[in-house]
Amino acid sequence: MSCRLPERIAATFLLASLALPALAQHPETLSWCDTLAQRLRSVEAESCRKLGLEPGNMRSVQGRPLMIRDVPAAPLKLSALKTNTGKPVQQRPARIFVIGGIHGDELTSVSIVFRWMDWLGEAEARQYHWRIAPLSNPDGLLARPSRRTNGNGVDLNRNFPTPDWFADALPYWKQRTKEDPRRFPGTKPMSEPETRWLHQEIERFKPDVIVSIHAPYGILDYDGPAQEPRRFGRLNLNRLGVYPGSLGNFGGVHKNIPVITIELPNATAMPAPKEQRQIWDDMLAWIKKHIVPQTLS
Ligand SMILES: [Zn+2]
């Protein structure tokens, strides 16, 4: 039996309201996804638009939005632990900040974040609160050809405010890199909007672990207080060293936040699907073992 008119209208409104999240997308998200899909074969515009990415509150040097996605954890079951007064211990889920594309010519460091975002709905991942910046240097990636540095020619991964910056960053660049333009740290720490934005997100989100993705060294690097990871997929721990102004130095050494640096083996060709998955599974296993949820008082 067909439903009466008021019920049909109500059903129409219900369907319309269910569809709202898709309609309410920021227009910049749509054009950002289109632009990225044209540049990266592994990113589909249509699925990118559905991910819930939004422009952050700052822009790149050339005015592009810096996109971010926040994925809260599934509600935690009340802990079996009890306080002295018999109340269940309240915990907040561990927070994970994933940063892709800080070097614009490392295309796979953006593509793999899109693979991982497809898996955030799985039970293992839903234990955590995720914040994801898939492309933190859009001007570098979208330049023709793509380049490591941002729109001002600064290596963002040498522009973080480490305490040694003024003493070491420029001398290191001049003497050790022979003024390599790909490694210019800027004229002062946080001179670049992209660095200021990432720094702001770290201060706001207060992550328990930062995962920063690069290529093409095919290793795992680590800075920070927790037990170091030994192996994700085929990537073995191999410390590259600590650089003035790097994110690992800033986050891991000075902010005491574990920083995992994943160096994929190739900047333009993705690891095989099985290896993409193995890196993810090993990373989640390490986080589960070594990053404990914060207890709320
Ligand atoms: Zn890199």
Residue 240, pLDDT score: 82
CA of 262 to the centre of ligand 1 (A): 9
Q: For residue 168, what are its two tokens?
A: 């070491």
CA of 148 to the centre of ligand 1 (A): 7
Per-residue CA distances from 11 to 21, 22, 23 (Å): 17, 18, 18
CA of 106 to the centre of ligand 1 (A): 6
35 backbone dihedrals φ, ψ, rounded to 5°? -60, -45
DSSP state of 50: T
CA of 21 to the centre of ligand 1 (A): 34
Domains and CATH numbers, the chain: 51-296 (3.40.630.10)
CA of 295 to the centre of ligand 1 (A): 34
CA of 215 to the centre of ligand 1 (A): 6
Q: What pairing do the DSSP bridges indicate for beta strands 259-263 and 219-223?
A: antiparallel
CA of 261 to the centre of ligand 1 (A): 9
Residue 78, pLDDT score: 58
CA of 121 to the centre of ligand 1 (A): 28
Query: Looking at this protein, which amino acid is placed at residue 250?
Result: F
Residue 20, pLDDT score: 41
* pLDDT by 10-residue block (mean), the chain, 297 residues: 44 41 75 96 95 96 97 78 75 94 98 97 96 98 98 98 96 96 98 98 97 97 94 95 94 95 98 97 97 77
CA of 102 to the centre of ligand 1 (A): 7
